[in-house]
Structures are given as C-alpha cells and as structure tokens.
Amino acid sequence: MVFEWMIVAMAVGIGLYFALPAEPPLWLAAVIAGCALIGVIALDRAAPLLWAPIKISLLALCMVSLGLARGIAHTDAVSAPVLRDYQTAYDVTGWIEAVERSGSGYRWRLRLHNIARTYDGAPPVDMPKRIRVRTKTNGLLPGDGVTLRAILRAPPGPVIADGYDPARRAWFQQVGGYGFAISTPEAAQVTTRGTERASRMLVTFREALTLRVLTRAPPNTAGLQAALLTGDRAYIDPEQTDVLRASGLAHVLAISGLHMGLMAGGAFWLISFLLACIDPIARRYDVRKAAAVAGILVATFYLILSGASVSTQRAYIMAVVLFAAVLLSRPAISIRTVAVAAAITLTLHPESLVSAGFQMSFAAAAALVTVYGAWRERYTPRYRRGILGRFGANMTGLAATSAIAGVATGGFAAIHFHRVAKLGFFANLAAMPFFTFIVMPAGLAAFIAMPLGLESYPLAVMGWGLEKMLWVARGVAERPGSLTYFSAAPGYMAGAFGLAFAVLCIGERRLKIAATLAIAGLWTVWSLTPPADMRVSASADIAFWGKTEQGSLLYVERTRADGYGVAQFMERAGDPDADVISYTESRANCDIRACQISLKGRTIAIAESPEIADEECKTADIVIITQRSAGPVTRRNCKAVLIDERKLGAAGAQDLYFEPGGSVTLKPANPRARTQRPWGQAR
C-alpha cells in the first residue's frame, strides 16, 4: 500500500498549492523534495531495516513537495495572455473550437488569430489564445473561421465568497477573455498549421458526426445521443437536463468512466466472444489480450471523438490501465489500478484535483474497488445457472454498484452542488439497466454501422432506451422533495473530506475507524456552520434573509438586480426556491437620504452617497454606501462596519455573518489571498 499512500501524499501537495495564500517559488518545493529523497536514500543505505517510520515520513514529504512543484510548474506552463479587467470593444478573428449552451442562447469558444481594439490609435493588445463570447450562431459551425466585433474583458472572478471561480478555470483552459458579440458574425478565411490544423480538422469531423447523429436519431432524444457519442452537449433539451439532474441521473450527460467503460468494455466483450467462437484460436491463445488491444483502440477513438475533456481523459487513463493489466496478466481491478490512474491524471492536469468531476469519479471507482475487494476476500462467488439466475445476479450487482457509487459520490455532490437527489438510488436502479444494456451498446453499434450508412437502426434503439430513462427520471423528479438542499460547506471541507475518504478506502482497520470518525466530525461541523445573513454585491446590491410563518424570505432592493449573485447566495444558503421581495416596501424605514433596516439586533444604514455617512456611523452598526467611496476621515472615524465602493472594488462582493455578541464578520468574494495567484491578479 506504500504506492497508494504516496499518490495520496502527492494529491495533498497539489491541494496545498491551491490552498496557499500566495504563489510559492518552484525552487523551494524542489529543494524540499530533493532533501527528503536524499534523507530516504541515506537512511536506507545506513540501516535498511531501521528507521522505517522516518523513511516513510520523508518519502511522503518528498511526494507532497513533488505535488506542490507540479502545481507550480503546470500553472506557469499554461500561462497565456489575459485581457484587461474592464469592458472594451474588440475586433476579433479566429475559428470556432466549440459551441456551448449559455442560458437560453449559445456561447462560442474561439481560438484567436487576430484581435485589435476598435477605436483609432489604440495600443496593441497581447492576443489571448482563446476567448468565450455569447453570440447568435448565424449558421456557423465548429471549425469554421469567423470574424466579429465583441465587448470583452478578463474572465470574471467569483461572485460570492468561496464560490465558483471562472477565472481559475479559464486560466488552465487558456481562455483570456469573456464577453458578448455586438456585430453579426461573418465567415472568414483562417489559416492553421501544425497541431492547430489537426485540432481544427478533428473539431470539424466531430461536428459533422454530431450533425449526422442529430439528423438520423429520433428527434426527441437526438441531443442526448449526440452528447453521449461525440461529447457535444449544446443540443440537449434544457428540460431533459433539469429532470436528469433532479432525479440523480445527470452523471450520464458527462462522458466519464461509466461511458468509457461501457464503450471500450463492450468492444472488449465483443472481440473476446468472437475470438472465443473460433476454436483453434481460443485453444492456442489468450483471446482476452487481443480483445484488450481492441478495447484500447476503441477507448482511444472515443477519447478523440468526444473532445478529450479532462473528465474523459480520466476515464481513458483508467480504461488503458485496466486493459494494460490484462495484457500483463495482472489483476485488472484493484486499488493499485485506481492509484495509477489518479497519478497519471494529476501529473497531466493537477488542477483537476479541486474539481467535482475528479473527486466524484475517483471516489466512485475507489469505493467500488474497495467494497468488492473486501467482498471477494470473505465470500466465494457463486455461479448462477439459467437465464433468470444470471439476470438476478446482474440486477443484484447493478443495485449494489448504484448504492456504493451513490454513497461514495453523495458527499462530494453535497459539498460542491449543495444538493443531493434523495431518490437517486431508485432512479439509478430503474434507469441504469436501460443505459448499460441498451443505450451504450446501441451507441457502439451505431459507430460500427456508420461506414455502411446503417446507423439509423441502432440510433433508434438507443433513442428508445433513452426514452425509458427519461420516463424514469421524470417520474422521480416529479416526486415532492426529490432534491434535498444543504447550506454551503466551509471552504476546507472538500479537501478534508477527500483526504478522509482516501484513508477510508486504502487504510488499515484502525485508520478506517479514524477516517470514519473524522468524516462524522466534519459533517457535524458543517451542520453547525450557519449560512451568511446578508450579501452586498460588487455593485452594492443588497440581499438579506428574513423569516416568516411560511419559511425563509429573501429581501432585496430590486428583484432583477444581481440575478446570478442572488441565485448563488440562495443556493449556498440551502434555500434556492425561497421567495424574493423588495425590502424597501416592507422591511426598511426609508427617507430621501437613506434607508435603515433592523436585522438580528443590528441597525443597517443604506445610503446612496457618502455625504451622510458621518451621521449614520453614529447610530448604525453597519453602514453601506451604494455609490462612491467615503473619505479617509470618515473611514477612520466610523465605528460601524463601513462598506463602500472602495472596499467592494478591492475585495468584491461581501458576505456578512452576524456573530453572537453583536460582532459582524465580513467574507469577501475576492480576498487578498486570491489576488496573489496568477488567475486572480488584476490586469
């Protein structure tokens, strides 16, 4: 188990990198790793049988430092130009890498070839590698060259404390600008060379295949079928996405280990079966090895075809490791296999460690391997005779797999998405047989039939299976309380829970008990952590919670202001469906100069300008100035908590927590620690 523990130590180092308040120097991590490794070698040569705990500790320190160093090096390696952090009009030319759904419209991810400010005399701009821009598609498809005028700025930061950070994700995707088009996109000639030309050809091929699926598949499920076969989710009906999410079946939308396993595993089974039917070959050779090679080829084809997202790469690495174990006559499924796949994934994409996809996929894989491994050690598998016996065994295995994977991923889902589908186990139990035995095998058959032009038939079967899945999903989603919401977890929760979960999977008995107690303690702390009482957005829009006989109520000044931020604030409070009303009509005492609100024993003054701040500071506990900044004298003399344009401009939106005893804690969306990281620095 030493190897598995070292991979956990490497993951700890990567997690430490993303948790640090400033960018650490690479040389320091390298020096620590080198010194620790020298210490291990010296102790091993001096006394091979002694000092084992010290050697293991030094080796763990070496791996932590290597993980830290890998995070530093990768962040620097993907560095690309980023636009200024204010909106400006640009003329851009490039080609469309992908079309993504954005609300009720669409958004392009453009690979840029030229960018310039629109007004005369503008200085040259460092061209980002990619941008994201909302626009009407105007008949243009991925792979096409395009030119347009757009309002762009640097990728935005979090809108709420401890919330999702688009700028960090954009940094690692080398996306240097976000915005929207202000002109009609027009086709343009864009010349590409080398690897970029190959990428563009692949994008064009994927889009052609997507359009072929959309035209040949049943209309009601064509978008889902395109998503499962080519990874393009832009054409999925939003209503279908909602019901799959509410029923706990949304995991089928993202190509991951399940899809890769069924596609490559289906090819492995098919080739094994066909070769086993040829008696001379079956008697002389191990047909599983030839089938494993076929499985690797199918997995590679599926990886390239689906766009090779990070989640698909994780699934591909896992599949290749499994098939390599078959080729080497080693156990194909073990916790070592999961650890090898995690090591490769973290080496290639260390930023994936902090993503929900990585944590949930490897949690499910580790839990399944651990539980089934323990089961095999205690019980001898029994062969079931007859069709009914084997069908019952398969259904029992499917139910156990759904339960184990659901429990393993449920904690991470609650941490990242603040919700859990209560009936997800039953939905998966009812729907996954259709997905496993009909949808994905039919998808594999569609790929095989495409060169002959016969894909309509397997696509029809695939659509029928998806219709049954959607029927199950709608039935579950329509049940009252199908989703349970949680208030947001503390920022450290994902890392601490992930580490405890890893120890639970690979540790010995005493460590498993300690990890279980640690998880229980973390959940207890989480349950006692109250949500924020008030929010002040970066543009000084205010929202706060109130109570009525019917339940929670969110008060805002204008119901249409700060829409996304308010939605995030409600979701992180665990009450996304609360009613929203204006406080100026019911809770506030307003005059021409300011409004006053009484909330949990605090007096909150809201003024448009700083002229009356001195007066409000004498009577209020919190003073919020919605326009301009207070002067230095006012800021120095004000005994109340003062929030103005200067504070909001520097630290972003503020979450306010009203502590017992009358104190108020402010938690910014853009804390100073974030501004010290490459993706958070102002430009």
pLDDT of residue 89: 92
Instruction: Quote the tokens at residue 383.
Output: 């062969």
pLDDT at 331 over 80: no
Pick from 155, 160, 85: which is nearest to 668 by CA?
160
In this prediction the pTM is: 0.89
Contact call for residues 616 and 623 (beta carbons, < 8 A): yes
Strand partners, 90: 117, 150
pLDDT of residue 94: 94
Q: How confident is the model at residue 615 (pLDDT cuts 50, 70, 90)?
A: confident
Count Cβ atoms below 10 Å from residue 393 Cβ, excluding itself: 14
pLDDT tens profile 526-543: 988 889 999 999 988 899
Into which CATH architecture does domain 88-191 fall?
A: Beta Barrel (2.40)
The Cα 14–Cα 636 span in angstroms is 41
Contact call for residues 517 and 484 (beta carbons, < 8 A): no
Q: Which residue has the tokens 């800021």?
A: 635
The Cα 528–Cα 580 span in angstroms is 25
Instruction: Quote the tokens at residue 523.
Output: 């959940």
Q: How confident is the model at residue 383 (pLDDT cuts 50, 70, 90)?
A: low
Instruction: Quote the tokens at residue 113.
Output: 């070839």
pLDDT at 283 over 90: no
> Picking from 26-35, 318-327, 390-399, which range would have the lowest pLDDT averaged per residue?
390-399
pLDDT at 630 over 90: no
Pick from 163, 325, 261, 262: which is nearest to 652 by CA?
163
Count Cβ atoms below 10 Å from residue 216 Cβ, excluding itself: 19
Residue type, 6: M
The Cα 428–Cα 230 span in angstroms is 23
Higher model confidence: residue 592 or residue 615?
615
Q: What average pLDDT score do residues 579-601 get?
A: 83
Contact call for residues 607 and 630 (beta carbons, < 8 A): no
Q: What average pLDDT score do residues 411-434 get?
A: 85
Q: How confident is the model at residue 468 (pLDDT cuts 50, 70, 90)?
A: very high
Q: How confident is the model at residue 246 (pLDDT cuts 50, 70, 90)?
A: confident
The Cα 641–Cα 667 span in angstroms is 13
- Please provide residue 554's backbone torsions phi and psi, each rounded to the nearest 5 degrees: -105, 125
Average pLDDT, the chain: 87
Residue type, 284: R
pLDDT at 481 over 80: no
Higher model confidence: residue 381 or residue 299?
299
Strand partners, 150: 90, 181
pLDDT at 76 over 80: yes
What does the DSSP assignment read for 171-193? HHHTEEEEEEESS--EE------
Pick from 647, 582, 585, 583: which is nearest to 610 by CA?
647
pLDDT at 45 over 60: yes
The Cα 544–Cα 553 span in angstroms is 9
Contact call for residues 74 and 20 (beta carbons, < 8 A): no
> What does each C-alpha distance from 659 to 23, 309, 380, 600, 666 come to in angstroms?
32, 43, 57, 10, 11
pLDDT of residue 95: 95
pLDDT of residue 122: 65
Domain boundaries, the chain: 2-77, 88-191, 207-377+420-479, 493-527, 534-680
Number of C-alpha atoms within 13 angstroms, CB side, residue 80? 21
Pick from 85, 92, 138, 90: which is nearest to 111 by CA?
92
> Picking from 113-122, 187-196, 218-227, 565-574, which range would have the lowest pLDDT averaged per residue?
113-122
Q: How confident is the model at residue 102 (pLDDT cuts 50, 70, 90)?
A: confident
pLDDT tens profile 119-133: 766 667 789 999 999
- Please provide residue 502's backbone torsions phi and psi, each rounded to the nearest 5 degrees: -65, -45
